[in-house]
Amino acid sequence: MLCSVPAIAQSSVLAEIPHTDKTLLQVSESALAKPITTPSGAELSVERKGELVRFTAAYEGVLTRSDWYQTTRSKPWVVFETRSSKFFEVDNRVLVTLSNPKQLEVVADEVDAIKAKQYPGLGYSIIWLQADRDPIGTVKRLQADQRVERAELQLKRPKMFPL
Amino acid sequence: MGIVALLLPNGCGSSSSSNGPDPVPPLTPVMATITAAETQLVEGRSNEVDIWVDLTPQVNRNVSVSLRFDGTATRNLDFEIDDDVLSFSPNQLRATTRLRALDDWLPEDTESLTIRMAEFSVATSAGVPSTVTIAVEDNLDAPLTKADKLGGGDLFVRASASFNQESATIEVRVINRGAASSSATNGYVGSYRLARPGELDRTAIEQIEIEVPPIDARSSFHTDVTLDLRKYTPNETYWVEASVTPPPEERFEGALPNRHTRGFTLNATGEILTRCIAPNRVRSSEGGDPLFESQWPLRNVGQTAFAENGGEAAEDLRMNDVLATGEPTGKGVNVAVVDTGLEICHPDLAENVVQEGSFNFKINAEETESWYNADASDPYFPGSRGDHGTSVAGIIGAHAENGLGLRGVAPDASLFGFNYLVEQCCLEDALGGSADAPNSQQIDVFNMSFGSLGSQYYELADGILRYGTSELRDGLGAIYVKAAGNGFRLCTHFMHQVHPTVGCNSSNGDRLNNLPYVIAVGALNAAGARASYSSVGSNLWISAPAGEYGVREPATITTDQFGRSRGYSSRGSRGIASNENADPFGDYSSTFNGTSAAAPHVSGVVALLLEVEPTLTWRDVKHILARTARRPGGLLNPRTDVRVMIGDQLVTISQDWVTNAAGFDFHNHFGFGVVDVDAAIALIREDYEPDSLGTQIRSDWFTTSSDGLQIPDHDGSGIEQQLNLDLPAGSNVEAIQLHIAGSHENLVDLSIQLTSPSGTQSILNPVFNEVLAGNISLDWRLLSNAFYGESPRGIWTLHIVDAAETDVGTLNSWALRVWYGEHP
């Protein structure tokens, strides 16, 4: 059974984070202070209950997705992926391709990274951000950096488990 | 059984020579009997029967017998039959046909079917009508209704643990897999001392309440709980239980989905164990492998392997020649166990573990060289309730002839442990993308006994495995062996399976299983049947032994975390854990199963093949496994298509073995069949030219737009669309991927089938696949191996059916991409 939610969403725009093969919209408590309807028709809203934050998605008033996030340990960085209509928490790893891979350490230092590692065969590097660092803002900053050919968020996916 | 007498002229074809008009030739009675092997069928289950007609005495000319069907059962609605005219060649005594009861998904009374012999091509006089009557019982199956499709608010708990110097953080994730929102409820995390294997001292060391808010359908909640390790006694093992109310419903027989348990052991100074400290073990003075006789996957003689019952002889890896000659042994082949951990000092593994070759991913994630006294090259699993990776490693490469335990499939393979699953960080490092910390580029075979549920395309994994298959092993390509999944009976969204041959979760739903670079392995039990849990799908490549649960029917015996307070053996006294003579120190488990156990059998086999011929490419290995596989012999395996009536059309929801146009047998339950080691090695030695499959080419996507085409609701005719692939004549399919996009109010209603230009059909997505539950947007890639070796050139046909009423949806686009070569 799907639950109805009030259809009070208004058209607005959420920041889109460029990605090779996804459309990612940044969601947060402040961005969704008022419910927002995405161009694809998803009505997104947020509510807080103590230390918990819940993001919800609905279509034509019918709730299709909601996820709780705890805010005690660190702020959750969440995006809405439009094709799957799901929320994803963002990983603290950022994928980058540099025009000059030798600059990786410099670039990583500039974003206070824990570490960085090149994968030459795969054509990219990974930068590990501090847990309290804003990965979305960092990616936007890297995407604007002329030394960076590509910078992409990594989404936390359901864990893989032993079979 | 019915009998009829046919009267045939004497001396068939001759005439009398007496005077006067020819007399009517005397007639010789020929007795014909019609028989059915069974007279009671159940729709969709025991649903087929052989029908035969016997002639007595034999007739020295062609005879044909027509059958007629009466009764309440309707042909092609309630049953179908292969032939309704049985032909006898001269002197043939018996002709047989097969009748199947169709599952019409309608509630109805038991129906009857009377089969009569209607016409006889040689008869001049009918005898007593011969009939046989068969009852067709309704199986009460129906398309899953809305209420059946989604359960009623079941809460599932998963807990994971991570450790610091003085504390343990337990992450509790509560998932509502039901259709309705859950109410606010409570849960707790409690820790208890393990008093003895399988028994806790129920005085809680710590018990922490957690508040669980209302969780919407198919959504989740997670929270962290911290335990203070200073409250715990050194040298003891503890279990941590995370649980929420309400208690589980009865349908989860034996399982407790609202509870999840983790464990850890403290050392003498009260710290979490983080590195392997070798135990002293007395080896048998007679050498050998004392537990070998229980290793039915290597040589099945019907042994019980510490369970109650044994299996079927010869339902094993068929490696008798290898066992008899003692070679190959996997020597010189590097196999990585990408898993939870690997006890590198386990007495039966240590000799094969490559020093400094393994890697502790906990250190990788923490970015510290001293994560709690751990060693970067020791992929130690800090949990205590069984280290999955240690058990996987034993199947691949437990050392042989060392007077301890058992032997692996490849007992001289070089083992590397990557405990990737403890942090799930850095798939690049684990699967061949890294030249240092760890050096995963030296790996020949990656064993991946893990999985996930969800239909997302995993673009990073695609790139990593594509790189590994093209660049590692000096360009010959690494071999990625992957467990197919244990979701066949994992019916959590659904109240029941839609049919015994259609599982609840398809293997294609795992985000790594739809990549053509992996060898997806299904599991068989000791009777040679698909193991009860083993996920099925068009993406399977091969099957291997793994077993059931090791209580009634055998599981796989393998290495376990050593000692009695740790490992699967610490959970209780099942199987070998109750037999101190067989396993005096608690270093082995006889209850290890899952496709996790099937995959390492194949990894071990691949190590053997690479020792025999090190220049085999990754594609050669797949080709050889497919070409030499055999059909499993289990009597309970399905032996027919299952077709059901959807709307007014019959739709195949589960296929029998299909022989494709290239001559390969394929079945969604088994891939190309069971690995046959001796046959594979014989092929390499006698008749196989490495790297002879031509250059592999990955085509561009061939796309078509369906532009929001409505999928007819509850209509077996569905949508049928075609796509012409203009690819080189003379090329051979090695894999094909379907990308499909659309939306549906209930995606589980959809069945997706693809037909090749040669006419081979493959079900890529079965009806009521739980993987899709809770999704309304379809953006999925599915793999089929059923067309292996066929020509990709020509018209491919996609058939999508919405199998249930009410919910509707649209198809937006679909596309095909083919990996192909030129096979000799």
Q: Which pLDDT tens digit goes with each residue over B28-57?
A: 667 788 899 888 888 766 678 899 988 888
Q: What is the pLDDT of residue B474?
A: 98
Higher pLDDT, B59 or B514: B514
Q: What is the pLDDT of residue B662?
A: 98
B234: which 2 tokens? 């050194």
Tell me the nearest-neighbour CA distance from B790 into chain A, angstroms: 31
Asked whether the predicted pLDDT for residue B287 surpasses 50, the reply is: yes
Q: What is the pLDDT of residue B246?
A: 63
CB proximity list for B207: less than 8 A, separation 6 or greater = B188, B189, B190, B191
Contact (CB<8Å) B220/A163 = no
Q: What's the complex ipTM?
A: 0.89
Give the rounded percent of residues in chain A with a pLDDT score beyond 70: 91
Give the rounded percent of residues in chain B with a pLDDT score beyond 90: 58
Q: Which of B208, B232, B212 is nearest to B222 (CA)?
A: B212
pLDDT, tens digit (0-9, with 9 covering 90-100), for B443-461? 999 999 999 876 566 888 9
Q: What is the pLDDT of residue B251?
A: 43
Q: What is the pLDDT of residue B253?
A: 43
Q: What is the mean pLDDT of residues B197-216?
A: 89
What are the angstrom distances between the C-alpha of B591 and each of B241, B403, B487? 22, 22, 18
Q: What is the mean pLDDT of residues B172-191?
A: 82
Asked whether the predicted pLDDT for residue B571 surpasses 50, the reply is: yes
pLDDT, tens digit (0-9, with 9 covering 90-100), for B496-527? 566 778 888 899 999 899 999 999 999 999 99
Write the DSSP symbol of residue B145. Answer: P
B431: which 2 tokens? 């699967």
Alpha carbons B732 and B324: distance in angstroms, whole number: 37
Asked whether the predicted pLDDT for residue B27 surpasses 60, the reply is: no
Higher pLDDT, B74 or B228: B228
Which residue of B425, B467, B741 is in closest CB contact with A121? Answer: B467
State chain B's mean pLDDT as an integer: 87
- Chain B CB contacts of A52 below 8 Å: 213, 221
B549: which 2 tokens? 């649960």
Which residues on adjacent β-strands are paired with residue B448? B338, B482
Q: What is the mean pLDDT of residues B284-296?
A: 94
B134: which 2 tokens? 């068969």
Asked whether the predicted pLDDT for residue B799 surpasses 90, the reply is: yes
Higher pLDDT, B564 or B636: B564
Nearest CA in chain B to A152: B460
Q: Read off the pTM.
A: 0.88
Alpha carbons B641 and B499: distance in angstroms, whole number: 12
Question: How would residue B139 be classed by pLDDT, with cut points 50, 70 and 90?
Answer: low
Alpha carbons B346 and B559: distance in angstroms, whole number: 8
Q: What is the pLDDT of residue B140?
A: 61
Which residue of A67, A68, A160 is in closest CB contact with B421? Answer: A160
Instruction: Spell out the SS3 assignment of B181-221.
Output: CCCCEEEEEEEEEEEECCEEEEEEEEEEEEEECCCCCCCEE
Q: What is the pLDDT of residue B3?
A: 46
Nearest CA in chain B to A126: B426
Contact (CB<8Å) A159/B160 = yes
Q: How many helices (H) and strands (E) does chain A have?
A: 2, 13
- Chain A CB contacts of B424 below 8 Å: 159-160
**Weakest mean pLDDT among B68-77, B308-317, B401-410, B637-646:** B637-646
Q: What is the mean pLDDT of residues B483-500?
A: 78
Contact (CB<8Å) B428/A68 = no
pLDDT, tens digit (0-9, with 9 covering 90-100), for B523-566? 999 999 999 999 999 999 999 999 999 999 999 999 999 999 99
- Chain B CB contacts of A65 below 8 Å: 216, 218-219
Higher pLDDT, B386 or B121: B386
